[in-house]
Amino acid sequence: MATLIIAEHDNSILKPATLNTVAAAAAIGGDAVLLVAGEGCQAVAGQAAQVAGVNKVLLADNAAYGHQLAENVAPLVAELAKSAGFEYVLAPATTTGKNLLPRVAALLDVGQLSDIVSVESADTFKRPIYAGNAIATVKSLDAIKVITVRGTAFDPVAAEGGSASIEAVTAVHDAGLSRFVGEEVAKSDRPELTAARVIISGGRGMGNGENFALLEKVADKLGAAVGASRAAVDAGFVPNDMQVGQTGKIVAPELYIAVGISGAIQHLAGMKDSKVIVAINKDEEAPIFQVADYGLVADLFDAVPELEASL
Amino acid sequence: MLTMQAAPVGLDINAKRQNSMKVLVTVKRVLDYNVKVRVKADRSDVDLANVKMALNPFCEIAVEEAVRLKEAGVATEVVVVSIGPKAVQEQIRTALALGADRGIHIETENSPESLSVAKLLAKVVADEQPGLVILGKQAIDSDNNQTGQMLAALTGLSQGTFASEVKIEGDEALVTREVDGGLQTLGLKLPAIVTTDLRLNEPRYASLPNIMKAKKKPLDVKTPADLGVELRAHTELLSVEPPAERKGGIKVGSVAELVEKLKNEAKVI
């Protein structure tokens, strides 16, 4: 029994979401093989070989895979899954994994289980539906099980300690259907939202984008990432990649501090698995207090600077 | 930009494609997003008896985008498809009221799984030959986020998922995608499959005259057998349970008390 895991990377660094996905593969059992598909990504293969519990790394290094276009990578993954007899194909439920894996599943003529949060047995998994308002237990009836993994539900395996072999894959699939035009990637010295130990998020109560500087000061003291509710994104305070919620990022840090966030169901769906939740809001009736471990009814413009000063 | 550099022959071809581009849009009937989700007492599924159903929000954005392409003169016709029991015709009519030209209802007993839906849609794509297919990135009931990508695989077409901007330039769709780190723009060879993210547009409301007009727009009903597709189950739903309840905590009186609790009780800072 073997699992093919799609490594999440940017051609130079193996992303932490890969480690949670390897943990899900470990819960399934059997051999774990990591596929690094990209261009000039040998360094990533080196990091992948160090990951605890990985038996082998497949390195598909070609210009066709440089931007990990689904049209090119999906046939590669489907071909590997079939020819090497993998029973499972796993990817992190990131935008990259969500973009790629259903295309792989359809090429294999199998279904896909999206966003699993637990492994119940070799063919049965739990996954959230209705924005996490219900949890479904689903049995796969397919010979090859294609699955995306919700990172926050699986503790990451160690990034080091493994010593897997690296094998080059020479197959090149260039569908010629799509091309990379450009990207706007937010640059920040703070941790990524989905990998942060502490997150401080702002909502509509922040009033404007400039006021997020208040949260950034606290974030810098705590080594935290800064997030936002959809209301704050829709109001144009901050860009969408900061959004935590059903339609944004799903996070589960050790500490989540919600500032000026009322706590719409849609936001709760993205953060309610955090270990400790703090809510700061001047409206004591705000639904966010129903899920907060520690609630502070206060004006955020007084409380947040005071919090920063006392850290 | 591309068309400016293209040879005159290329321009002609591009102009022709643009002049005759049909857009296919898919819609799904789901539990209205304002309705509280309840699990059935026997935990077999979510309880959908006597609750308000609506057009999936991401599908609504897909319809809006298609209608805007038509209004901009890029698309010539907007065809809307839905799959499911007879009741989904209500959502097709909603899409027609928003500006789609005609509907196709593929009648099935239940709401089929993503791969089955993609197989049915692939047949519709083969019949209709659209220049662009726009789908919602996910349905807010099953939260799968699969159908568009699967349809792209089955038709061998390009895919632009989680779109926040779609521009047709010559023989290409320029699609800006919402990705984890920010935004990515891809150039997709047409015909292309696009799935919508929330910020692509803000859907309009259907006016009463348009709702009336929609009742007279053509709507074809087909079966999977008509399309030559045999539906197969890929998963079995064993049970559905409510999520673990999070217990409310305590209110603290001051920032000092909060910091003390976080340090000594929760031990997270």
Whether residue B127 is predicted with pLDDT greater than 80 in this model: the reply is yes
Check if CATH label 3.40.50.620 holds for domain B13-264. Answer: yes
Q: Within an 8 Å CB–CB cutoff, is residue A217 touching chain B?
A: no
For residue B149, pLDDT over 60 is answered with: yes
Of B51, B58, B56, give the one whose Cα is nearest residue B37: B51
- % of chain A surpassing 70 pLDDT: 100
Coarse DSSP helix, strand, coil percentages of chain A, rounded to the nearest 5 percent? 35, 30, 40
Query: Quick check: A255 and B268 CB within 8 A?
Result: yes
- How do residues B59-73 score in pLDDT, each as one tens digit? 999 999 999 999 999
CB contact (8 A) between residue B189 and residue A275 = no
Q: What is the pLDDT of residues A122-142, one digit of tens each?
A: 999 999 999 899 999 999 999
The percentage of chain A sitting over the pLDDT mark of 90, rounded to a whole number, equals 93
- Give yes or no for residue B35 having a pLDDT over 80: yes
Interface with chain B: mutation pick from A13, A69, A148, A178, highest number of B CBs within 10 Å: A178
Question: What is the arrangement of strands in the sheet containing A2-6, beginning at the earlier edge strand?
Answer: A112-116, A145-149, A88-92, A2-6, A31-38, A56-61, A165-168
Q: Say if residue A16 is preceded by a cis peptide, omega within 30 of 0.
A: no
pLDDT band at B1 (very low <50, low <70, confident <90, very high): very low
Instruction: Look up residue A211 and give its DSSP letter.
Output: T
DSSP result, B3-66: HHHS-HHHHHHHHHHHHT-EEEEE--EEE-TTSPP-B-TTSSSB--TT--EEE-HHHHHHHHHH
Long-range contacts of B86-89 (CB under 8 A, 24+ apart): B87/B29, B87/B53, B88/B27, B88/B28, B88/B29, B89/B219
Q: Smallest CA–CA separation between A114 and chain B, in Å?
A: 6
What residue ranges do the domains of chain B occupy? 13-264
Structure confidence by residue, pLDDT tens digits, B168-225: 999 999 999 999 889 999 999 999 999 999 989 999 999 999 999 999 999 999 999 9
For the segment A181-189, the average pLDDT, to the nearest whole number, is: 88
Residue B5 has a pLDDT of: 39
Question: How big is the CA angle at B168 (ends B163 and B173), to the nearest 5 degrees?
Answer: 55
CA-based radius of gyration for chain A: 21
Q: For chain A, give the mean pLDDT.
A: 96
Going by C-alpha positions, the residue among B14, B226, B246, B237 that lies closest to residue B144 is B237
Query: Residue A269's closest chain B neighbor by CA?
Result: B243
pLDDT digits (tens, 9 = 90+) for A38-96: 999 999 999 999 999 999 999 999 999 999 999 999 999 999 999 999 999 999 999 99
Residue B19 is predicted with a pLDDT of 55
State the smallest CA–CA distance between residue B217 and chain A in angstroms: 32
CA distance B197 to B74: 21
A223 touches chain B (CB under 8 A): no
**pLDDT at residue B9 is higher than 70:** no
- Which residues touch B158 (CB under 8 Å, ≥6 apart)? A71, A175, A177, A178, B152, B173, B188, B189, B192, B193
A241 contact residues in B (CB cutoff 8 A)? 178-183
The predicted structure's pLDDT at residue A215? 98
Domains with residue ranges and CATH for chain A: 2-168 (3.40.50.620), 193-309 (3.40.50.1220)
Mean per-residue pLDDT for A207-234?
A: 96
